Amino acid sequence: MVHYVYKITNLKNGMFYIGKHSTEHVDDGYMGSGKLVRRAISKYGAENFKKEILQFFETAFDALLYEKELVTEELVERKDTYNLTVGGSGSWYAANANVELRKIKNAKAARSMNSKTWADPEFRERQRIRLSESSKRLHAEGRLQAPDWNGRKHADETKKKIGAANSKHQSGSGNSNFGNVWIHSLVEKKSIRVPNSELESWLAKGWIKGRKMKFEQA
């Protein structure tokens, strides 16, 4: 059995993770067990990460002691590390037994998740494309079908909620026609919407303010 402390660095942004590993084979492809570093590898691709073995040890305990020396509270609080807990814990249970430490870890994980995933426009676009392609594939395979609303009706309470939501959404600047005004032409026999800022120029061309639904046929 081989025991060592390693460092994994994100070549895209310089963020890193330090951990301890015990294995029968040094070249087993292990790239860390931390939650954030695993997500980062999934996001950026393993080819964009560099792994360094910092030191080998005779026992797993000695490796844990060295990890503890490196992964301190100060390092955990740094913004350029994927480490969520101090080193030397040796197991998930030990790392989560301390309630206060668990709260700190969860808070940092939430901040990191938001700032490095869904708050990232590139990440959101990749997720949108992935979900869209997955949906198309499932539809093509007949495993996902659009709901059939034939013969079905919304309950009165549901209708009220939908109406209230639409009313709020379509009010003021939320309305797609906000800032526009209807005008019509007796010559061209049609009605159109134009921006308020352009109204005077249209009126000068002979258009009339207001919407006309029917025009006399020539």
Q: What is the pLDDT of residues 82-99, one digit of tens each?
A: 998 888 765 444 445 455
Structural domains of the chain sorted by starting position, each given as residue range(s) with its CATH number in brackets: 2-118 (3.40.1440.10), 180-209 (no CATH)
> Residues 61-79: pLDDT tens digits?
999 999 999 999 999 899 9
* pTM recorded for the entire structure: 0.44
pLDDT at position 212: 80
pLDDT for res 115: 62
Task: With a cut of 70, list the residues of the chain below it in pLDDT.
Answer: 89-106, 108-119, 146-149, 151-152, 154, 165-178, 216-218
CB 87 within 8 A of CB 34: no
Q: What is the pLDDT of residue 23?
A: 92
């695993």: which residue's tokens?
38
Number of neighbours of residue 183 by Cβ within 10 angstroms: 21
**Residues near 26 by beta carbon (within 8 Å), at least 6 away in sequence:** 2, 4, 53
